[in-house]
Amino acid sequence: MADQQEILSGLADIVNEETGVEQSEVQMDKSFTDDLDIDSLSMMTIVVNAEEKFGVRIPDDEVKNLTTVGDAVSYIQNNQG
């Protein structure tokens, strides 16, 4: 199982690949939409890539609750394996 730092780093890589946002900008307290300017289409791609990378399932109705990077990290951490 990945720890919080590994998940954060992995998410930062995914966000960077999808949107070009620098990995260093992807921090726990950042909002995907407000701070990182990620639209819903990019967010869905990020979710799919995160599911593959971390072996978790993130239902569509759960995605709307993942407003910050920290929310996503916590969700992945709590739902691994």
39 as an active site residue: the answer is yes
Which CATH code, of 1.20.120.1200, 3.90.870.10, 1.10.1200.10, 3.40.50.1240, is assigned to 4-18+27-79? Answer: 1.10.1200.10
**Residue 5 burial (CB count, 10 A):** 9
pLDDT of 1 above 90: no
Rounded to 10 degrees, the C-alpha dihedral 70/14/57/27 comes to 0
pLDDT of 79 above 90: yes
The pTM assigned to this predicted structure is 0.94
Candidate list 13, 39, 60, 61, residue with the active-site label? 39
pLDDT of 22 above 90: yes
Helix, strand, coil shares of the chain, percent, nearest 5, are 60, 0, 35
How does pLDDT run across 53-63, given as a tens digit for each residue? 999 999 999 99
